[in-house]
């Protein structure tokens, strides 16, 4: 069984994956970081040299592999849900947690992340808030389609979010899979 965190970039998937996995006694992986490691270059570089279709192919191949594992928490890339086969695999492999955040919060988080500009490409010519709002409109129905659990991640502290997710996961995991305690 795999637990996958989905949501737009800047919603906290990578930040939450490690403490959630620790609470569960599972391993975790940031799919974007692993994709960059395997490719030997940043997502921005892949987009610049090979284009988005090649990046999405690499992303699909990686997730197809990771979703076969057991007792793993995956922080998926924000656009992973764009692939219909990936959406199917996400739902089939275990609970999918959609981290929601407002466009304003996402924009602020991305602006304060020093690596975003170096590692992540703009996905539209507009960039910024306009890009976020446009892509959220496209992606939110796909996130919703995949989600087992929806968590509002705008303002809660990290530990509160982990607690909330852990409590909700208890309804979706066999008791032997949920080794951690609620506190």
pLDDT in tens, 58-74: 999 999 999 999 999 99
| Bridge partner list, 6 | 98
* Helices 52-66 + 84-93 axis angle, to 10: 20
pLDDT at residue 145 greater than cutoff 50: yes
128: confidence class by pLDDT, cuts 50, 70, 90: confident
- What counts of helices (H) and strands (E) characterise the chain? 9, 5
Please give the pLDDT value at position 183. Answer: 39
pLDDT at residue 122 greater than cutoff 80: no
pTM of the model: 0.88
Higher-pLDDT residue of 88, 158: 88
Structural domains in the chain, CATH included, are 2-164 (3.40.50.300)
pLDDT, average across residues 137-155: 93
Please give the pLDDT value at position 114. Answer: 61
């Amino acid at each position: 069984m795999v637990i996958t965190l989905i949501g737009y970039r800047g919603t906290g998937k990578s930040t939450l994956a490690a403490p959630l996995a620790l609470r569960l006694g599972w391993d975790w992986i940031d799919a974007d970081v692993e994709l960059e490691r395997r490719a030997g270059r940043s997502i921005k570089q892949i987009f610049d040299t090979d284009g988005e279709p090649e990046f999405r192919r690499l992303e699909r191949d990686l997730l197809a592999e990771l979703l076969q594992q057991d007792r793993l928490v995956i922080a998926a890339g924000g656009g992973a849900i764009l692939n219909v086969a990936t959406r199917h695999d996400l739902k089939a492999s275990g609970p999918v947690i959609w981290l929601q955040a407002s466009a304003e919060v996402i924009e602020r988080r991305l602006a304060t992340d020093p690596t975003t500009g170096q590692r992540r490409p703009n996905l539209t010519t507009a960039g910024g808030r306009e890009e976020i709002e446009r892509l959220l409109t496209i992606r939110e129905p796909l996130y919703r389609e995949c989600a087992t659990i929806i968590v509002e991640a705008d303002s809660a502290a990290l530990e509160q979010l982990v607690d909330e997710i852990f409590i909700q996961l208890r309804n979706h995991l066999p008791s032997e899979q949920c080794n951690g305690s609620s506190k």
